[in-house]
Amino acid sequence: MSDSWLDKIRFNADGLIPAIAQDADSGRVLMLAWMNREALKLTAEKKQAVYWSRSRQKLWHKGEQSGHVQRVQEIRFDCDEDVILLKVEQIGGIACHTGRESCFYRRLQGDQWLEVDDVIKDPNDIYQ
């Protein structure tokens, strides 16, 4: 596979691009993470999500500790060429490190953030 498709991506000044992971079946947004060129290339090659961890400054293979990998069905990018959308099959049904399906489990109601999604599995049982 030629790497020329990567040249069309508009990475930011830090060499990163935001990547939204969306459940391919339900359409639910699962999470947002960051990718550098190498992470995006590996994701396309492996058909599994690989991100760039800004806190650890290294590649992060989604599910490497939890087993909750993301099998990539499709990779898209937006009209401005600066956001990636991954349509994924979320193995284990848990994308969030809190043990929930989605990282977007809080909803603004009035002036309060309410947790509206249940924990599927206790994070202490996931990350031992």
What are the DSSP E strand ranges found in 1-119? 17-23, 29-35, 50-53, 58-61, 70-77, 84-90, 106-109, 112-115
Using the predicted structure, report yes or no on whether residue 119 has a pLDDT greater than 70. yes
**Model pTM score:** 0.92
What domains lie within the chain, and their CATH numbers? Answer: 4-93 (3.10.20.810)
Q: Provide the 3-class DSSP secondary structure of residue 4.
A: helix
Structure tokens belonging to residue 5: 């498709």
* Per-residue pLDDT reduced to its tens digit, 35-57: 999 999 999 999 999 999 999 99
Predicted confidence (pLDDT) per residue in 85-115, tens digit? 999 999 999 999 999 999 999 999 999 999 9
